[in-house]
Structure 1
């Protein structure tokens, strides 16, 4: 490499050094980009992401991201990826942004996080004729609560098991509603935004049969997350200013209200 560099023009020398990893160019690349690639994990569901080419709406995540970044000169596209691969590409290159909560991520300071744009809430859903006033995990002692298989509920994890809350796993919110309707569960744990969308768009489920409980069992604020040390710091600062303006003028609330 040294002998080659002696006889090549400076511009080509720099190109070779960069391709060999000798000069960090990620920051410059980020500043030059006019497109953002957001990865969508397979677990993301409507209305967070709506995979419907016939619809003008792509879901909350895409709508908020576009509303914030398009006025800053960025076009947004989405790649649907397995969760683990998406996070790996976010950290090491390949995709630019994702939406999550700091509280769900191990060592979250590996990434850059925007200010929050919406609350993510786990709530109890009961039959309308059997309301449940939730006042903490002890409220559910001895009750059967349907949960999504594989999901972790930090507020309740230490209370599942003998003498505590009886956990019954189901593969989907619709399956949990069926368990509740048949009397096999006393309550189900659902994501507020997701269940509101399901009950709004699936009238066959007879939404009048169910009632959402208050307060939430757990909550974590959704943020957009960018790679660290790849030059995204200026955009994150601009992002937060735009987000604050959208809160003040009501445009952020208008986007969220479309899915409630």
Structure 2
């Protein structure tokens, strides 16, 4: 799943040109604060929306491991394009992305992958589909997010072999499946499990999540390419390896599934 930035290219350049002044009033470089930028709607369970009771998987990990280096984390709510523009000029420390979703990933510092994000197919249990390859979905309809590109499915969508039914939020994807308005929905497994856990109208026992995940990527932290952040990222990777080995990472994931 890749969000399509091409429709927002003019907005990107406007934000880029204004980014030098956009960070005024925010934490200054060198004050042991890591500012994490993402939209108010978040990307639950990885990044939680503004006002949520839980921090989200990625935010919780960054806060815990930054603390080991004497840093605190400050969330800055902003569109993804704005975060990108600010990071390009060094005025925002961190965001969460996959390298595969970014043009010119060498312009940033990256942590090791934190968790795998992939496009799974969510179907009704009473309408089973054996899914191991894209061809298994030919002739089917799939609910998808407006503005997102799905590399494994885009050709099928374009030529009509797979019917795309767009919607604007993740919970609507599953509701369309539940109401039999589509054969399946494209959604990351952890996002689906979070929705089953938090949306009472969505019952896990009514759905199946495909074992096959298409186009898997490593979701990780993207840092501004600044000299002062190089040792932070290197230490973060070491702390994350220890965090995984201790079992704390798995314990954290269970809170969001």
Q: TM-score, normalised by structure 1?
A: 0.83
Secondary structure at 1:236 match in 2: helix
Match of 2:21 in 1: none
Provide the C-alpha distance between the structure 1 equivalents of 2:170 and 2:80, rounded to a whole number of angstroms.
20
Secondary structure at 2:38 match in 1: strand
Secondary structure at 1:161 match in 2: helix
Provide the C-alpha distance between the structure 2 equivalents of 1:49 and 1:161, rounded to a whole number of angstroms.
31
Match of 1:141 in 2: 138
Provide the C-alpha distance between the structure 1 equivalents of 2:176 and 2:148, rounded to a whole number of angstroms.
17
1:227 equivalent in alignment to 2:224: yes
Distance 1:204 1:183, change over 3 A: closer
Distance 1:239 1:49, change over 3 A: same
Secondary structure at 2:58 match in 1: helix
Provide the C-alpha distance between the structure 2 equivalents of 1:231 and 1:107, rounded to a whole number of angstroms.
21
Provide the C-alpha distance between the structure 1 equivalents of 2:86 and 2:227, rounded to a whole number of angstroms.
13
Q: Which runs of 4+ in 1 moved over 6 A?
A: none
Count of residues in Structure 1 that have an aligned counterpart in Structure 2: 230
Match of 1:241 in 2: 238
Give ranges in structure 2 of 5+ residues lacking alignment: 1-27
Q: TM-score, normalised by structure 2?
A: 0.84
CA-CA distance at 1:43 after TM superposition? 5.4
Secondary structure at 1:77 match in 2: strand
Match of 1:50 in 2: 48
1:34 aligns with one of 7, 32, 42: 32
Match of 1:150 in 2: 147
Per-residue CA distance 1:54-108 (angstroms, 9 max, x = gap): 73x2111210101111011000010100111111011113211111100100010
CA-CA distance at 1:223 after TM superposition? 0.9
Provide the C-alpha distance between the structure 2 equivalents of 1:206 and 1:53, rounded to a whole number of angstroms.
25
Provide the C-alpha distance between the structure 1 equivalents of 2:99 and 2:50, rounded to a whole number of angstroms.
28
Provide the C-alpha distance between the structure 2 equivalents of 1:52 and 1:226, rounded to a whole number of angstroms.
22
1:181 equivalent in alignment to 2:181: no
